[in-house]
Amino acid sequence: MEAGPNDSLCVPDEFSTDANFTPVRCTSIFGLDGACTSSCLPQVRDAAVKLPKDVCSGNQLCAPCTDPQTDAPSGACDQGAMACEPPADDGPCADWEPTLDVSAYPSCGARAHCAPVELVAEDQRADPATCPDGQSYCVPDDFLRRGGRYTPPTCSSVGGREGRCLSTAIPKVAADKATLPVASCNPVDEVCVPCYDPRTGMGTGACTKGTCDPGPTEGPRTFEECGWSGDDAYCVPAASA
């Protein structure tokens, strides 16, 4: 939208006085590379996640070079000499730091909080429970603090099968909690979910949740069937019975 003859635009002082101004480099949310940008800009002032101050001065906040939700350039680092620098390696497999302050959101579990829909990518909205307000999702803190860029630890699940440590704040995990081992997971709210359902051999999705999870290193191993012909009965470890 172009400004009319009687309109005015809010332009940061540094740009109004120096057309070649280069923003100060800073560290933004989740440890992403960023640029100090004036909070008079709506995209900075009204960001879905409050932007950090870091080394920025005055009314500036550190805006990330890439949009955490889309991985697309935000435009914050396209000013002055910064536009000529090679982009930082902040792609989908970057090791994002757990910097988000989750205490700003309502708790929905031992280590889970209700995250606004803007903080939950569309492909990650199927598993978490909807919070009482109907407008946010109950997201485990390990995922929320990293903007979803988190790969659950590998663990030894039922009968030694490969699995991942997942939070019982996830309804599907909570439903099977009694039959799954804690293994090396956090005993507060995690169990080890196998990569494959040992009854059917079908993938559970546990080993493909992380943005950069390479997936299972072993194929499915199903329980041995037992009982009379036609019965759905299996030989399972005593600990899982």
Domain that holds residue 220: 154-240
Residues 175, 139 within the same domain: no
Residues 194, 229 within the same domain: yes
CB within 8 A of 114, min separation 6: which ones? Answer: 105, 106, 107, 108, 131, 133, 136, 137, 138, 139
Flag whether 92 is in a domain: no
Residues 29, 77 within the same domain: yes
Flag whether 230 is in a domain: yes
Flag whether 88 is in a domain: no
Cα(194)–Cα(25) distance, integer angstroms: 43
Report how far apart the first and last C-alpha atoms of the chain are (Å, whole number): 65
Flag whether 96 is in a domain: no
- Give the tokens for residue 50: 């409050």
Flag whether 227 is in a domain: yes
Residues 159, 209 within the same domain: yes
pTM (2 d.p.): 0.74
**What tens digit of pLDDT does each residue of 70-126 get?**
788 888 998 877 766 666 655 667 778 898 899 989 999 999 999 998 888 887 888
- Cβ atoms within 10 A of the Cβ of 169, count? 23
Flag whether 53 is in a domain: yes
Tell me the pairing of strands 107-109 and 112-116.
Answer: antiparallel
**DSSP code of 196?**
B
Residues 74, 123 within the same domain: no
User: How confident is the model at residue 89, as a pLDDT?
Assistant: 59
Flag whether 182 is in a domain: yes
Residues 17, 56 within the same domain: yes
Residues 176, 232 within the same domain: yes
User: How confident is the model at residue 211, as a pLDDT?
Assistant: 75
35 and 76 in contact (C-beta within 8 Å)?
Answer: yes
Residues 110, 73 within the same domain: no
User: How confident is the model at residue 148, as a pLDDT?
Assistant: 86
User: How confident is the model at residue 217, as a pLDDT?
Assistant: 95
Spans in the chain with pLDDT lower than 70: 1-20, 83-92, 225-241
Number of domains in the chain: 3
Flag whether 1 is in a domain: no
